Amino acid sequence: MSFFKKLKDKFTVSTDSVTEKFKDGLTKTRDNFSNRVNDLVARYRKIDEDFFEELEEILIQADVGFETVMELVEELKLEVKRQNMQDPKDVQSVISEKLVEIYQSGEEAPNELNMQEDGLTVILFVGVNGVGKTTTIGKLAHQFKSEGKKVVMAAGDTFRAGAIEQLEVWGERVGVDVIKQGAGSDPAAVMFDAIQSARARKADVLLCDTAGRLQNKVNLMNELEKVKRVIEREIPGAPHEVLLVLDATTGQNAMIQAKTFKDATNVTGIVLTKLDGTAKGGIVLAIRNELHIPVKFVGLGERMDDLQQFDAEKYVYGLFSNLIEKETDEE
């Protein structure tokens, strides 16, 4: 049974709303990527070096990342040789299988958040200004609250004009308390207050916003370290997650940001926003494979419930859904 057939059996017999969100949210990438792969296999009658060179180009242009592309193509060559494949169409299913394998390699359930069963879970959000950090915090607050959890948000971005007010708007929208101080105040002091307030309210989750002035990189990273020290002093083992928010539409610039923050702080996961707005959704694989940081959430639209926990198989199904449905319908 081909990997396409397995994905179809898994996701289209009783297609759920989350799978549909991945399918809809990856439309631009699918139109760019899988359609070009489809054109490629239609033009070639045999699998040769020219075929693989064009495939490399398609993958690189989808922002899959150079290292990941080289690894993927080498594995494809071995698989083609092992199975004695002759028809280029047979490679499409193997590509999808290898993409899932690359993402999942060496990790068990990497997209699960480290939630505390007993006591307060503290999640720290980092990232440059303009990537959708505050919106992500608001959407996650909505998710947690809909699961019956008591949530508090901390307005730790005290420098960007309007950042505190923006978080307050989200707090009102989802019905969650926001702990704040005045503009320009010490972010670490805000975190201290937020922890005390969250405890007093017997909250389950504390979501902490931070500044994102990457142009003042040294000061920003020192500030993040101070915030983390205060949190850890008050709650040993916290923050339980440090989520780096990246804008998928910025492509390789997002990779540069990820490397910068990874070097400066212990990033435990990525939130990739605006994946629905880019034709280069392969950045998910580049981040995971080259930086070894799991993508925990992806933004697949503007609505409150369009921030979804990342799932490698649903991601690949979203990338190849047109080819999957066509191939399996022909069987």
pLDDT digits (tens, 9 = 90+) for 73-102: 999 999 999 999 988 888 888 888 888 888
Q: Is 275 annotated as a binding residue?
A: yes
**Nearest in space to 133 (alpha carbons), one of 218, 77, 207, 234:** 207
Which positions ≥6 away from 82 have C-beta within 8 Å?
A: none
Looking at the chain, the domain(s) classified CATH 3.40.50.300 span 121-267
Please report the pLDDT score of residue 251 as a whole number.
Answer: 85
3-state SS, residue 227: helix
Helix (H) or strand (E) holding 122: strand 121-126
Q: Is 213 annotated as a binding residue?
A: yes
Q: Is 178 annotated as a binding residue?
A: no
Asked whether 88 and 40 are in contact (CB, 8 A), the reply is yes
248-281 tens-digit pLDDT: 999 888 988 888 888 878 899 999 999 999 998 9
Q: Is 243 annotated as a binding residue?
A: no
CATH 3.40.50.970 matches 3-108+315-330: no
Q: Is 273 annotated as a binding residue?
A: yes
Confidence of residue 109 (pLDDT cuts 50, 70, 90): very low
Q: What distance in Å separates the CA atoms of residue 222 and residue 219, rounded to the nearest whole number?
A: 5
Q: Is 156 annotated as a binding residue?
A: no
Would the pTM count as exceeding 0.75? yes
Q: Is 128 annotated as a binding residue?
A: yes
Looking at the chain, the domain(s) classified CATH 1.20.120.140 span 3-108+315-330
Q: Is 267 annotated as a binding residue?
A: no
| Architecture of the domain made up of 121-267 | 3-Layer(aba) Sandwich (3.40)
Q: Is 6 annotated as a binding residue?
A: no
Q: Is 190 annotated as a binding residue?
A: no
Q: Is 129 annotated as a binding residue?
A: yes
